[in-house]
C-alpha cells in the first residue's frame, strides 16, 4: 500500500466501540464512537450481544474513514485494542457466536472459582499465569459456555467451535474467518496461558476441561495478523497491531522503562507497573501479566484491577438519576459539604485488587440527613482515588524498585478530563499526577503497534520521546487530612468485605 500514511485504531470497549484515524505523526485525524446495550440477565451477570460488538466496530471504522475524507488506500494498517477477558465462542463455519459474550465484569462463575481454590489449585494457576483464580478471567467463562450451551462441549471437542477474546473475534470477522489469532497480552488474561514460556498450558486446559482445539494462535503485539476483506472498507487493509486495552494504554503512555506506572480510568480502573523482562510474583494480591511482546521478547508488568471506576459515575446517572451527564460530577463534588465524610465502596460486581472478594457488594457509609447529590458525587469520584492508592501501596510492597520509578503516575481514560478528580487523586496519593496531551492512549497504543510493524513509526525508545505532558497535578492536601480520609476509606472497605 505505497503512499498510505494513516493508521486506523479500533478501540472496542466495555460500553462503546470507537475508531480513530491517526496520521503519520500520531495526531488524531478523525474519529467515531457508538455505545451499545449492556445485558444483565441475572444478579452479577453481564453480557454483550456479539453482533453489537461487530456492527459497532464496522460502523465506526467506516464513519471515521468517511469523516477523514479518506479511502482504504490511504490506510497503511489497522491496530486493535479491546476489553480484555470478555469471552466469546463461535461456529468456525458460520462465524456466529453460540451465546452472548460473557463480559469481564461477570461473576457467574464465582462458585466454580471458589471450588477450585478450595481444592488447592491457586498455586498452579498463579505460578503459570500470574493471575488469581477469579471469575474475572476467561477460563471459567469458557467452561461455563461449554457446560451450559446445549451441544457446545461436543462441538468443541469435534473442532467445530473457536474461542476468542474480543480482539480475536474481531480479527476473525475482519478477515472473513481466515485468521484465528490473538496476541500475547490478551492470551495472558485467559488463565490458560503460561506467561513465562509463552504457550497455552496443558495442565490448565486439563484443570478447566477446555479442548485445545478451541484456542487461537498467539502472536507478537506488532506483526501482520492478516488482511480485512475488501468488502468491509472498499479494499483490503492489513491488521498489524493488537493488544488488550490496558497494555495498549501502557504503550500509548510510553511506559517502556521498568518502574514506570500508568493508570487508566474507564469503566474500570487499571494500574500497570512495568517490571521489565522478568515476571514478579506478587505477595500482595496483584497480578503479574505481559505488558507487551515485541520481536518475540516479552516485557512484564504488575497490574492492579479495579472493577468499577467510571461505571460508578454511570450508576449516578442511570441507576439513581442524580446527574444527566458525567461532566456534572466534578462541579458537584467541589460544592460538597467539607464537614461530611461520606464513603462509597463501589463493589457492584465484587472487589478486585488487592482484595479479590467476588461476593462483596457496594455500600455507602457516613450518610447524614444533610447528605445529597453533592456528597454522593464526591464520594463516587473519591472512591476511584482511594482504590488507586490501594493498588500503588501493593505495588511498592511487591517491587522495591517501584518506589523510585513510580515517582509520578501517568493517567488516561475518560475520567481524567475532570480537573477536580485528578487533583483529588494527587492529594490522596501524595504523588504528582501527569495528564498527557493525548488522552486516548489506549487507541494511541494500538495505532503505534500497527504503525511500528508497518514501518511508519520509530522503535519504542524514540517513540517515548514523543510523549507530551498536558498538565501535572501536584499534591496540596495536608497530611493530617489525607490520613483521616484514608483511614475512613479503609474502615469502609473492611465493613464491605464479605468476610468482614
Q: Is 134 inside any structural domain?
A: yes
Total structural domains in the chain? Answer: 2
**Considering only CA atoms, which of 9, 86, 5 is closest in space to residue 47?**
86
Provide the pLDDT for residue 406: 58
Provide the pLDDT for residue 401: 64
Instruction: For Cα atoms 19, 21, 25, give the angle at the middle one, nearest 5 degrees.
Output: 145
Q: Sheet of 28-35: strands edge to edge?
A: 28-35, 16-22, 6-12, 75-82, 238-244, 222-227
Q: Give the whole-angstrom CA distance, residue 495 versus residue 500.
A: 6
Q: Is 112 inside any structural domain?
A: yes
**Considering only CA atoms, which of 489, 241, 218, 451 is closest in space to residue 347?**
489
**257-276 pLDDT tens trace:** 898 899 988 888 889 999 99
Same domain, 235 and 308: no
Provide the pLDDT for residue 57: 97
Q: Look at 323 and 127; give whichever has higher pLDDT.
A: 127
Residue 253, φ and ψ in degrees, nearest 5: -85, 5
DSSP label at 318?
A: I
Query: Residue 150's pLDDT band (boundaries 50, 70, 90)?
Result: very high
Query: Residue 431's pLDDT band (boundaries 50, 70, 90)?
Result: very high
Question: Does residue 354 have a cis bond before it (omega within 30 degrees)?
Answer: yes
Same domain, 257 and 235: no
Same domain, 257 and 182: no
Q: Is 458 inside any structural domain?
A: no
Provide the pLDDT for residue 196: 94
Determine what percent of the chain is predicted with pLDDT higher than 70.
98
Q: Is the pLDDT of residue 256 over 60?
A: yes
Same domain, 213 and 313: no
Provide the pLDDT for residue 1: 52
Give whole-number Cα distances, 319 to 9, 342, 374, 378, 489, in Å: 32, 19, 16, 17, 23
Provide the pLDDT for residue 402: 55
Q: Is the pLDDT of residue 499 over 60?
A: no
Query: Residue 463's pLDDT band (boundaries 50, 70, 90)?
Result: confident
Q: For position 184, which CATH number holds?
A: 3.30.420.40
Same domain, 152 and 276: no
Q: Look at 308 and 289; give whichever has higher pLDDT.
A: 289
Q: Is 33 inside any structural domain?
A: yes
DSSP label at 267?
A: S
Q: Look at 230 and 308; give whichever has higher pLDDT.
A: 230
Strands (E), 222-336: 222-227, 238-244, 261-265, 269-276, 287-294, 297-306
As a dihedral over the C-alpha atoms of residue 391, residue 80, residue 168, residue 185, rounded to 10 degrees, the angle is -40
Same domain, 231 and 261: no
Provide the pLDDT for residue 111: 93
Mean of per-residue pLDDT scores for the chain: 91
Please tell me the least confidently modeled range out of 4-8, 65-69, 428-432: 4-8
Same domain, 379 and 230: no
* C-alpha grid cell, residue 89: 465462542
Same domain, 231 and 293: no
Query: Residue 145's pLDDT band (boundaries 50, 70, 90)?
Result: very high
Same domain, 41 and 79: yes
Residue 204, φ and ψ in degrees, nearest 5: -75, -40
**Domain coverage including residue 136:** 6-246
Q: Tell me the average pLDDT across 100-123.
A: 93
Provide the pLDDT for residue 333: 83
**Which helix (H) or strand (E) element contains residue 312?**
helix 310-314
Provide the pLDDT for residue 167: 97
Same domain, 331 and 221: no
Same domain, 351 and 327: yes
Of the three residues 179, 213, 246, the one that is the final residue of a domain is 246
**Which helix (H) or strand (E) element contains residue 91?**
strand 88-91
**Contacting residues for 92 by C-beta, under 8 A, at least 6 apart:** 159, 160, 161, 162, 177, 180
Q: Tell me the average pLDDT across 396-425.
A: 82
Give whole-number Cα distances, 175 to 39, 159, 465, in Å: 28, 20, 34
Q: Can you give 178-240 as a three-state secondary structure string?
A: CCCEEEHHHHCCCCCEECCCCEECHHHHHHHCCCHHHCCEEECCEEEEEECCHHHHCCCCEEE
**157-175 pLDDT tens trace:** 999 999 999 999 999 999 9
Query: Residue 83's pLDDT band (boundaries 50, 70, 90)?
Result: very high
**349-377 pLDDT tens trace:** 788 778 878 788 889 999 899 888 899 88
Q: Is 463 inside any structural domain?
A: no
Of the three residues 201, 221, 246, the one that is the final residue of a domain is 246
Q: Is 390 inside any structural domain?
A: yes
DSSP label at 457?
A: S
Q: Tell me the average pLDDT across 328-342.
A: 88
Provide the pLDDT for residue 400: 72
Q: Is 374 inside any structural domain?
A: yes
Q: Is 455 inside any structural domain?
A: no
* C-alpha grid cell, residue 157: 471437542
Of the three residues 211, 246, 281, the one that is the final residue of a domain is 246
Q: Is the pLDDT of residue 413 over 90?
A: no
Confirm if 234 and 355 have CB atoms less than 8 A apart.
no
Same domain, 242 and 285: no
Determine what percent of the chain is predicted with pLDDT higher than 90.
67
Amino acid at each position: 500500500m505505497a503512499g498510505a500514511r494513516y493508521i486506523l485504531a479500533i478501540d472496542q470497549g466495555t460500553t462503546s466501540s470507537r475508531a480513530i484515524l491517526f496520521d503519520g505523526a500520531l495526531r488524531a485525524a478523525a474519529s467515531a464512537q457508538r455505545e451499545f446495550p449492556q445485558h444483565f440477565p441475572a444478579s452479577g451477570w453481564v453480557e454483550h450481544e456479539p453482533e453489537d460488538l461487530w456492527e459497532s466496530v464496522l460502523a465506526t471504522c467506516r464513519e471515521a474513514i468517511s469523516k477523514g475524507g479518506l479511502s482504504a488506500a490511504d490506510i497503511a494498517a489497522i491496530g486493535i485494542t479491546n476489553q480484555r477477558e470478555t469471552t466469546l465462542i463461535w461456529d468456525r463455519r458460520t462465524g456466529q457466536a453460540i451465546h452472548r459474550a460473557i463480559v469481564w465484569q461477570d461473576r457467574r462463575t464465582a462458585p466454580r472459582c471458589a471450588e477450585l481454590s478450595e481444592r488447592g489449585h491457586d498455586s498452579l494457576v498463579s505460578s503459570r499465569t500470574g493471575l488469581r483464580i477469579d471469575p474475572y478471567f476467561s477460563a471459567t467463562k469458557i467452561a461455563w459456555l461449554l457446560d451450559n450451551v446445549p451441544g457446545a462441549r461436543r462441538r468443541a471437542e469435534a473442532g467445530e467451535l473457536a474461542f476468542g477474546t474480543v480482539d480475536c473475534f474481531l480479527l476473525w470477522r475482519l478477515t472473513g474467518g481466515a485468521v484465528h489469532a490473538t496476541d500475547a497480552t490478551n492470551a495472558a488474561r485467559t488463565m490458560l496461558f503460561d506467561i513465562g514460556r509463552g504457550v497455552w498450558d496443558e495442565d490448565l486446559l486439563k484443570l478447566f476441561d477446555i479442548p485445545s482445539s478451541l484456542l487461537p494462535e498467539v502472536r507478537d503485539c506488532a506483526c501482520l495478523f492478516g488482511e480485512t476483506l475488501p468488502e468491509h472498507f472498499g479494499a483490503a487493509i492489513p491488521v498489524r497491531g493488537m493488544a488488550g486495552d490496558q497494555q495498549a494504554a501502557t504503550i500509548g503512555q510510553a511506559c517502556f522503562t521498568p518502574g514506570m506506572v500508568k493508570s487508566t480510568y474507564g469503566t474500570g480502573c487499571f494500574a500497570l507497573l512495568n517490571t521489565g523482562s522478568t515476571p514478579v510474583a506478587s505477595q500482595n494480591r496483584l497480578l503479574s501479566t505481559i505488558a507487551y511482546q515485541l520481536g518475540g521478547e516479552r516485557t512484564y508488568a504488575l497490574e492492579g484491577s479495579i472493577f468499577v471506576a467510571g461505571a460508578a459515575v454511570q450508576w449516578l446517572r442511570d441507576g439513581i438519576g442524580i446527574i444527566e451527564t458525567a461532566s456534572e460530577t466534578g462541579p458537584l463534588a467541589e460544592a460538597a459539604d467539607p464537614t461530611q465524610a461520606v464513603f462509597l465502596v463501589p463493589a457492584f460486581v465484587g472487589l478486585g485488587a488487592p482484595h479479590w472478594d467476588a461476593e462483596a457488594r457496594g455500600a455507602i457509609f457516613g450518610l447524614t440527613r444533610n447528605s445529597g447529590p453533592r456528597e454522593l458525587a464526591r464520594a463516587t469520584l473519591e472512591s476511584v482515588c482511594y482504590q488507586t492508592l490501594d493498588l500503588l501501596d501493593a505495588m511498592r510492597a511487591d517491587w522495591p524498585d517501584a518506589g523510585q520509578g513510580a515517582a509520578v503516575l501517568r493517567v488516561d481514560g475518560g475520567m481524567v478530563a475532570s480537573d477536580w478528580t485528578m487533583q483529588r487523586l494527587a492529594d490522596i496519593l501524595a504523588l504528582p499526577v501527569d495528564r498527557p496531551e493525548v488522552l486516548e492512549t489506549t487507541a494511541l497504543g494500538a495505532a503505534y503497534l500497527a504503525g511500528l510493524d508497518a514501518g511508519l513509526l520509530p522503535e519504542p525508545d524514540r517513540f517515548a520521546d514523543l510523549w507530551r505532558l498536558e498538565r501535572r497535578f501536584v499534591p496540596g492536601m495536608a497530611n493530617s487530612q489525607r490520613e483521616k480520609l484514608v483511614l475512613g476509606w479503609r474502615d469502609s472497605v473492611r465493613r464491605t468485605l464479605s468476610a468482614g
